[in-house]
Amino acid sequence: LSTDANGRYCQLDPYLGAQLALAEAYRNVATSGAKPLAVTNCLNFGSPENPGVMWQFKQATTGLADACLELEIPVTGGNVSFYNQTGDVAIFPTPVVGVLGVIDDVARRIPSGWQDEGNNIYLLGVTRDELDGSVWSEVIHSHLGGQPPKVDLGYERRLAELLHGASLQGLIASATDLSEAGLAQALTESVLRFNMGARVWITELCERDGLDRTSALFSESTGRVLVSVGREDDVKFVGLCDARNIPVLRIGVTDNTGELEIQDLAIWQLDELRTPWVNTLPDLFG
């Protein structure tokens, strides 16, 4: 089960923002090795008496409905919450989308972090120069503008089918989807989950997709998953990706050094990364 939302994207484009929330939840379920089966939602908006808010609501629900039809996944229920505002200032339109999936054999589930040393790290999907509405734009530039990332729902289905099939064959050691804060966030989550380090290189990614290092690390392009694969399963896994027309690129290897290294950029001790990861919310709320 995964629930996802992104008010920034919906503020920029409520139709596309709702579809992006669904795509992320759908992808998150797939990264566990489950088959996505059903959708629920909680639609949060300002006052429907405001024509602008009502337009946002209509666009978001239409986008969600169209995406569910394309993914062939039913909405089993949901709820709507209006009048979320202070005075005349409404919240960003925030449809929260939940996706439920089923794993036939829980022993085949895919964990979300790296556990084994010496596994190859692959990035599935294409990274585009898509920083509009991103965490990077908000944190570094205090900016919200432009267009959200594109979403290809047909591709998301193929990606989910690949992950489900690979899990049944025991080919994937771990999988983490890329969403907010992009590759940088996914790498951090993966090393901290089981305290397993990695050496990563992004030069080939930048060359293949025409990116600078900022976009390679922080773009929030959709349809991407970071996976680790045992070396004995490399050839079979890459062949499975090629058969489903899923772009795949080896970008690193796991190791037990206690570090995350992005070559030619920086080396972080895992304890250095863990401190803000664990302490940020307690520090904010005292």
**Other residues' Cβ atoms within 10 Å of the Cβ of residue 154:** 9
CATH number of the domain enclosing 49? 3.30.1330.10
Query: Is the domain of 75 the same as that of 149?
Result: no
Of the residues 87, 105, 123, the one at which a domain ends: 105
Let me know how many helices (H) and strands (E) the chain has, helices first: 10, 13
Q: Which domain holds residue 4?
A: 1-105
pLDDT computed for residue 10 by the predictor: 98
What is the signed CA dihedral for 102, 155, 123, 209, rounded to 10 degrees?
Answer: -170
pLDDT computed for residue 124 by the predictor: 99
How many Å apart are CA 5 and CA 71, to the nearest integer?
A: 18
Residue 194 near residue 113 (C-beta atoms within 8 A): yes
Enumerate the β-bridge partners of residue 268. Answer: 260
Query: Is the domain of 258 the same as that of 275?
Result: yes
Query: Is the domain of 63 the same as that of 127?
Result: no
Residue 60 near residue 18 (C-beta atoms within 8 A): yes
pLDDT computed for residue 104 by the predictor: 87
Of the residues 53, 87, 105, the one at which a domain ends: 105
pLDDT computed for residue 73 by the predictor: 98
- What phi and psi values does residue 128 have, to the nearest 5 degrees? -110, 165
Which one-letter DSSP state was computed for residue 121? E
Per-residue pLDDT tens digits for 227-270: 999 999 999 999 999 999 999 999 999 999 999 999 999 999 99
State which residues of the chain have pLDDT below 50.
none
Query: Is the domain of 99 the same as that of 115?
Result: no
pLDDT computed for residue 96 by the predictor: 99
Tokens of 142: 């205090």
Enumerate the β-bridge partners of residue 121. Answer: 228, 252
CATH number of the domain enclosing 201? 3.90.650.10
pLDDT computed for residue 37 by the predictor: 98
